[in-house]
Homo-oligomer: A and B are copies of this chain.
Amino acid sequence: MEHLKTRKSIRKYSSRQVDDAVLKEILELAERTQTMGNLQLYSVVVTRDEKMKEMLSPAHFNQPMVKQAPVVLTICADFNRTTKWAECRNAHPGYDNMLSFMNASSDALLYTQTLCNLAESMGLGVCYLGTTLYMPMQIIEVLNLPKLVFPVATITLGWPDESPTPSDRLPLSAVVHKEMYSDYFPEDIDMLYAEKERLPENKKFVEINHKETLAQVFTDIRYTKSANEAMSVTLLQALKQQGFIQE
């Protein structure tokens, strides 16, 4: 997995198609990922059709990758299939609850990441769209997702038509704790974020957004309190609609 050292999300794709055989290989091998009770609590909707991409696009704030990528994958937490299986086998399922949603989400996200690692190790480019959780209702409608199915990740996939420089990461000491969680004092924050804040690309990011600090770009523009709170409401509504939270 040497590719990881230089990996970068790819947002521009060449016109070269992703063969069905290649896609099948990745989707199938990713099935080896560990899964709760070997139940495989996920489904993948493969979008190749231009019209379907156009319909998905607004749910992802019209990010151009959705229409430009040859393949869009929507990975869903899925307790519907297991529930249907149980109902066909004289068994009484009880997966219309929050724990089951989290279990299925976990399965779906672990599967997603093996899939990303596989695709990237083969030279394909992927971009993970976090927007999936922002307007889940739209995605649910477009993809016709039944109860107990919930979209948790979207991957755009194709052969890269760009080779961006890997982005910065926090030092390992920022994310690893020995034996117990040690909370961050202001001096820890200064030390752990110093390199990130010093980088020319991040300084430019602050400048073009007319902000004082890099953190403000996130709190005031990219991920604001008001947007997060509004989208938390719709997220919970969507979880109710899909049957994972009862009224």
Contacts and interface: CB of A to CB of B under 8 A. Distances in A.
A206 to B, nearest CB: 10
B91 A219 contact: yes
Contacts of A181: 43, 45, 76, 143-146, 149
Nearest to A121: B1
A138 to B, nearest CB: 14
A133 B99 contact: yes
Contacts of A52: 179-180
A33 interface: yes
Interface string A178-209: 11110110100110010000000000000000
Contact of A86 (B93, B145, B183, B218): B218
A106 B100 CA distance: 16
A232 B98 contact: yes
20 contacts: A1-B29, A32-B166, A40-B169, A44-B176, A45-B177, A46-B176, A52-B180, A76-B181, A80-B183, A84-B184, A89-B213, A90-B213, A92-B219, A94-B223, A100-B228, A109-B109, A110-B128, A113-B113, A144-B180, A144-B181
- By Cβ-Cβ distance, the 7 closest A-B pairs, closest first, are A94-B225, A113-B113, A89-B215, A91-B215, A89-B213, A109-B109, A98-B232
